Structures are given as structure tokens and as C-alpha cells.
Structure 1
Amino acid sequence: MLIKKQTSDTIILPSEITPRDVFESRRDFIRRVAIGSIASASVIEMAQREAFAQTPGAQKLAATINPAYASNEKKTAYKDVTSYNNFYEFGTDKDEPAVNAHTLKTRPWTVSIEGEVNKPMVLDLDALLKLAPIEERVYRLRCVEGWSMVIPWLGYSLSNLLKKVEPNSNARYVEFISLADKKQMPAIRFPVLQWPYTEGLRIDEAMHPLTLLTLGLYGEVLPNQNGAPVRLTVPWKYGFKSAKSIVKIRVTKDLPKTSWNVANPSEYGFYSNVNPEVDHPRWSQASERRIGEDGFLSRKRKTLMFNGYNEVASLYAGMDLKKFY
């Protein structure tokens, strides 16, 4: 089988890329990096099994169930949660992070917290694990592409960490910066986005109890493809707002630039709240498909405002959420 080689003329520009646009072409250029330019289905399957074997998913992480964040909804199967991922540093197709992310080294790992704070800190992973009691919280995750999952995440409110560094009177926003290492993350050699991946929240959003500094899922530490060893989970916003493999948290006075907003500001706003009344320019956000439950031909679920987390509505009182999308 002949594989068309990628050239500088055929690389997709950030302003052109969205997950649906690149679906047909993105599979080849990342997979070629991971397993060669000629790959049979059996080789791909073998690589995926090897990737699962090398991720830290077998390491247990003790957590107390928080009944305030329990759910009667059916949880998405572990195999779906860990094999259907958006993590562009390891590939733009959904199965590629699970295949490629075994190269990520999660120890040693440090996160610096700096900026408009009175007590800047650099914490290693063990310190983060001990900073506050770890809870299990079942959160829905809604992706801008139109699919959703229900996941038992493990972690604690980000506010626990932010209170330690004491944001000062200039603190208005919180910026999250992910690891960008070509040796560990093969796909960042392609200009799909401006690396490192960067996201941001308003300070009151970051301090809200729902905002989770996430260290695990399903009773285990985070698998690499899910953003190990530390990520954000902001359940009322679209999934791309939840930065993965975080190495720096910066408290700022000014609105931080975020990766998808820089790439395509007409499609990805800073707030990115789940809002069924604001369509993506090329598809509706009024419904969603639950991974592992609703097939492509099955009836889709109605998308809920704020993904159903109405307790955050007061954060946006008086704002036009069609304008501030």
C-alpha cells in the first residue's frame, strides 16, 4: 500500500484544523511516526496492546467517594475512557494517544505555581498527591465534537492548591501550561497547534469547587493517554478546556492566550461553556453521543446547559453567553 508522505505544503494549519476536518487525513502522519510508514491492522493492534501495558493504569490510587458528586448515570467503560482520547501531542486521531503515549515519563514530575501570588511554589508529584484528600467524583465530560462520557475522576478541588500560593489582588485569571517535549510527544513536531498547549480560566472559575485538579480515574492513577500525571477537569466546559500533563500554573492579571482560541478564534472562545444554544460554526451543539452507549445511528442525547452543572450559572450572571462563547 502506498502512503502519501507529508510535506510542508500539506501540513494542516492551526486556522484550518478542527477534529472533524482532519478526520480523513490525520491518521497517516502521526501513525507513520509511531509505527512506520507501512502499518497493517495487526501491527496497530499490537502497538496499542503494548501502549496499554506500559501506561501506569495498574497503579491504584486511594480515594474517598464524595457523595455530592455521585451520579446515577451509567459510567463509560474503562476501555472506552482509555482508548478514545483527544491528546494532540500524541496524535490527532482518537486511538493514537493510547498507542503513542507510552513514551511519556511521568516521574520525576514537577508543577510550578507562579505569577500573581504571594507564595510561589514548585511541587513534585508526591507533594501534589498529599496536598489534599483525594476524592472520587463522577463527572460528565462533553467534547466540542459532539460526544460525551461519564467518568469517575480522582482528585481534589483546584482551590486547595491555589489557596496555598495565596493569589494577590492582581489575580484575575489562571493559565495552565502542558508539557511539550518532542522526545516524549511525537506529534508536537507538527504545527497542528502552537505548543506548548495552553488553557485558562477566570480566577473565580478556577476557585469553584467543581474545578478538579485530577490525578486519576477509575481508582487508578491517570493513564498517560488521559493526561498523566496531573490534569484539569472542568465539567461544565467543553473537554479541551481541561489541560493535560500540566507542568506550570500561572496566576495572571491579563487574559491568557489559549491554544484553540489562538488557532481559530472564530470557533473557539475563551469561555467555552457547554451551551446547546451556541452552535459550532459547522455543526450543532444541541445534542451529543454518549461513547459506548449511543451508536452513530442511535438517538442522541439532548445537550444540557453547562453540561447539567447549573450550580456554576451564577458565575456568568449578566453575561451574554452567546457573545462570550
Structure 2
Amino acid sequence: MLIRHRPEWDLPESAATPQHIVMNRRAALGGLGAATMGFGAIGTAQAQSAMKVTIEDPGYSAAAMRFQPGRPLTPQKDAERYNNFYEFGLSKDIWRAAQKLPIEPWTIKVDGLVEKPFTISFDDLMKQVKTETRVYRHRCVEAWAITVPWEGFAMSDLVKLAKPLSSAKYLRFTSLADAKTMPGLSIPFFPWPYHEGLTMAEATNELAFVGTGLYNQPMPKQDGAPIRVILPWKYGFKSAKSIVRIEFVKDQPETFWQKTSPDMYGFWANVNPKFPTLRWSQARERIIGTDETVPTVIYNGYSQWVAPLYAGMKQDRTLFM
């Protein structure tokens, strides 16, 4: 088997996601208190020392592995059966309820500061983009981690297709809100529909991805079918599911969790072990299935691709919540 030397941010294979459980992010938070996940202190030298390793190539193509996840894959069954999709409730077993998600036909509205607003079907969109597989690490704000192979396309391709005006500085994503099939919409303290945002620079970064599949199959409903956002350097709640609208806007959009719990969740939500929230530390993350904990790495190990996006910003808690 091919042996490759990975960058310093890689974790050893022994510390990688095992193959039998994926915990529910929001269930662990206990409802509205979910918004209180945070960060903890850990020495940079210690974290980097833990990641000077050599691991085995897991078998995907060089293109799929070019962002070097450094961990073996979470088994498909486990990754697809322990999910978080508040629109269907707060249970760990949300994958069952999510099968009611209506995905055909599916359209996405693209509007705001674009040359010409339009609505496009999911099928037509897929004819206009080049799909690929990317193996990414996923860091949950609950301090657990998995590694999965996504199918989809570069978000920069979507931006090009939209033809935004020069005045557009941010993207705002809106998820489906279907009261007939989504019982979670009755939870009164959540500002439905789910909505998230990115800067234009983040959206056009090479890591930013639009997911349409998982494990070489169409995106499971519980994972955000048929189309979702994937941002591996941020906490998972930034990656909105089941997208129905993409707006290009001038001002920074307020997001779902900012509105729900502004003291705990912010706009940026970049992974960083050094910043605790009011509840607990993010210094370490639990590897699902073994309960082993390992040091969390800033930007979830993707610093070399995304750190320059924030070089001119104040490196305080605001950037990492």
C-alpha cells in the first residue's frame, strides 16, 4: 500500500475516526443549549507535535485526497444513521424522520446582487457543473469528528454561474422549510427557515464545496439532500442543508444560530482549540467509536488553504465562534 508523508496538521491513523458510531451533534446539546459549544486552550507546539506522522493512503484517487484528511473513512452506515436535522426534531435517530423530506422536484432560487436572478432545477444545475469526490474531515461543534467522502462541485463554480455584481460581498443560504413534513418547524424559539452565510472570499476558496452525494451515492435525506454546503474548516452548523435559495448580498447576513444564541454562536465559526465558550472547551475532540480524545487543530487542519482569508482580521473569539 502506498505510504505518503502528510503535512504537520495530519493526525495519526490510530487517532482517526473508527467505523461504528456517529453521534448526534445537537442531541448532546440538549435543545436550545446546543448553541453554547465552545473552544479550549491547547499549546500550538503540542498540537503540531501530535501531527507529525505518516499514514496509509485510504484508497481514493489523488484528486479526491488532495486536501489530505489524514484519517480513514467513517463507515457509510454509521455516518448516515446518526445525524442532526432540527427541522425533523432533536433526536439522534433523525435519519428515520428525515426520510419524509420531499426532494423531487427540487429548485434553487439564485437572486440578490446578481446580473439576472434565476431559478434552476437541481437536475439542470448538475448539468452545468463538474462533479468530483472530496474526502474531508468534519468537525462538529460538539467536539467530535468524522471523515467522509463527499460528492459535489466547487462552490466557486456556483458563484460563477450566478454572475454576482461587484457590490455582492456575501452569500446567504436558505434551507427548505416545509411544515407538512418537518415537525421541528413547530419549535417556537428557532428563527426558521434555517439560514447561513459566507463571505465571497470564503465561497470562492478552493475548499468550499457544494455537496450532492456521499459515499458515491446521492446525498442521503438526513444529510441535506439533494444539495448542501460543505465547509471543512468551520464547525458543522455553518454547512446548511437542503438549500432552496442562494442570495448575494452587500452586508453580512445574520445567521440562524446568531439569532438563536448570539453569545455562543457567531458568523465565522472557524475551528480553533484556543477559544472556549461558556460551557466547555474545544481544545480536544472525541474520535467517534473509541472515545479517545485528540488535540483539536486550528481550522480543523486546513490552515494552509484558509488561514490567509483571515490574516488581516483580529484573531479573537469573534473569528472562532
Return the TM-score normalized by structure 1.
0.78
Q: 2:302 aligns with which of 297, 305, 309?
A: 309
Match of 2:30 among 12, 18, 22: 22
Query: 5+ residue gaps in structure 2?
Result: 1-25, 35-60
In structure 2, which of residues 111, 125, 129 is the aligned counterpart of residue 132 of structure 1?
129
Q: Which has the higher contact order (CA 8 A, sep 6+)?
A: 2
| Residue from 162, 166, 170 that aligns with 1:165 | 162
Measured in 2, the distance between the counterparts of 1:64 and 1:176 equals: 31
Structure 2 residue aligned with 1:205: 202
**Counterpart for residue 138 of structure 2:** 141
Q: For the residues of structure 2 that align with 1:140 and 1:64, how far apart are their CA atoms?
A: 16
Which residue does the alignment assign to 1:231? Answer: 228
Write the distance in 1 (CA, Å) between the matches of 2:27 and 2:276.
15
Q: Which residue of 1 aligns with 2:116?
A: 119
8 Å CA contact 1:64–1:134 kept in 2: the answer is: no
2:77 pairs with 1:79: yes
User: What's 1:266 paired with?
Assistant: 263
Which residue number in structure 1 is paired with residue 190 of structure 2?
193
How far 1:24 moved relative to its partner?
12
**Aligned-partner Cα distance in 2 for 1:239–1:19:** 14
Q: Are the equivalent residues in 2 in contact too, given 1:172–1:203 (CA < 8 A)?
A: yes
Shift of 1:291: 2.1
Whole-Å separation in 1 of the counterparts to 2:261 and 2:143? 18
Q: Amino acid of the residue matched to residue 187 of structure 2?
A: F
Higher helix share: 1
Distance in 1, Cα, partners of 2:244 & 2:95: 21
For 1:99 and 1:184, the matched residues in 2 are separated by 12
Measure the CA separation in 2 of the matches of 1:109 and 1:139.
26
One-letter identity of the residue aligned with 2:299: F
8 Å contact 1:119–1:164 — kept in the other structure?
A: no
The Cα shift of 1:69 comes to: 3.2
The alpha carbon displacement at 1:184 in A equals: 1.6
TM norm structure 2? 0.79
1:67 positional shift: 4.0
For 1:19 and 1:233, the matched residues in 2 are separated by: 21
Aligned pair in 2 of structure 1 residues 291, 130: CA closer, same or farther (>3 Å)? farther
Deviations 1:280-316 (A, max 9, x none): 2210001111223x32xxx301111000001100000
Between 127-136 and 214-223, report the one with greater CA deviation: 127-136
Shift of 1:87: 0.8
What corresponds to 1:244 in structure 2? 241
Matches of 1:212 and 1:66, distance apart in 2? 12
* 1:122–1:80 CA distance, 2 compared to 1 (3 A): same
Offset at residue 318 of structure 1 (A): 2.4
Deviation at 1:210, TM superposition (A): 0.7
- Secondary structure at the residue paired with 1:123? strand
Aligned-residue Cα RMSD (Å) equals 2.1
Corresponding residue number in structure 2 for 1:319: 313
**1:201-234 deviation digits (Å, cap 9, x = unpaired):** 1110011111101100100011100000100000
Q: Which sections of structure 1, spanning at least 5 residues, go unmatched?
A: 1-17, 27-62
Structure 1 distance, partners of 2:145, 2:162, is 34
How far the C-alpha of 1:70 sits from its partner, in A, is 4.9
Question: What per-residue deviation string (whole Å, max 9, x for no partner) do you get for residues 149-190 of structure 1?
Answer: 101000011110111121112111100000001112111111
* Separation of aligned partners in 1, 2:131 and 2:288: 26
> Does 2:87 match 1:89?
yes
Determine which of 279, 293, 300 is the counterpart of 2:293: 300
Q: Quick check: 1:112–1:249 contact (8 Å CA) kept in 2?
A: yes
Q: What count of residue pairs does the alignment treat as equivalent?
A: 267
- Residue 58 of structure 2 corresponds to none
SS in 1 for 2:318: coil
Q: Where does 1:39-58 land on structure 2 (aligned, <5 Å)?
A: none
Q: 1:201 to 1:286 in 2, by over 3 A?
A: same
1 CA distance for matches of 2:217 and 2:270? 28
Displacement, 1:121? 2.2
Query: Structure 1 residues 194 and 244 mapped into 2: Cα distance closer, same or farther (>3 Å)?
Result: same
Identity %: 45
